[in-house]
Amino acid sequence: NAGVTQTPKFQVLKTGQSMTLQCAQDMNHNSMYWYRQDPGMGLRLIYYSASEGTTDKGEVPNGYNVSRLNKREFSLRLESAAPSQTSVYFCASSDHNRAANEKLFFGSGTQLSVL
């Protein structure tokens, strides 16, 4: 019963390097999300995918790209990492086929440092 799985758990990058954060869910949820969490800022939505084949920008999309590979997987890519992207990144999923469709299930996070 894995839920939402994120990899890697920790990553250190140099400015300008690229990387992809992976996320997979096994709950057959339609919607998936990427959030970042910074001290004093709470959780902020980067991108979301309401259903397989669709993606949309959230509150802070600049510097990121996403791919909804299939119903299970939603990846987040940093093309040219910047120190301002140092953060903890959370993937989440939800099932909009249910009445209470705003219940998000989160992964355990990726702690990213950009030097």
Partner 1 sequence: QKEVEQDPGPLSVPEGAIVSLNCTYSNSAFQYFMWYRQYSRKGPELLMYTYSSGNKEDGRFTAQVDKSSKYISLFIRDSQPSDSATYLCAMIGGTSYGKLTFGQGTILTVHP
Residue ranges that bind partner 1, judged by CB under 8 A: 4, 31, 33, 40-45, 48, 50, 58, 90, 92, 94, 96, 100-109
Contact residues for 79 (Cβ-Cβ < 8 A; gap 6+): 18, 63, 65
DSSP state of 96: T
Name the nearest CA neighbour of 31 among 106, 111, 112, 109: 106
Which C-beta is closer to partner 1: that of 19 or that of 105? 105
Taking the complex as a whole, the smallest distance from the CB of residue 80 to partner 1 amounts, in Å, to: 26
16/27 with CB nearer partner 1: 27
The tokens for 36 are 């970042």
Nearer Cβ to partner 1, position 86 or 105?
105
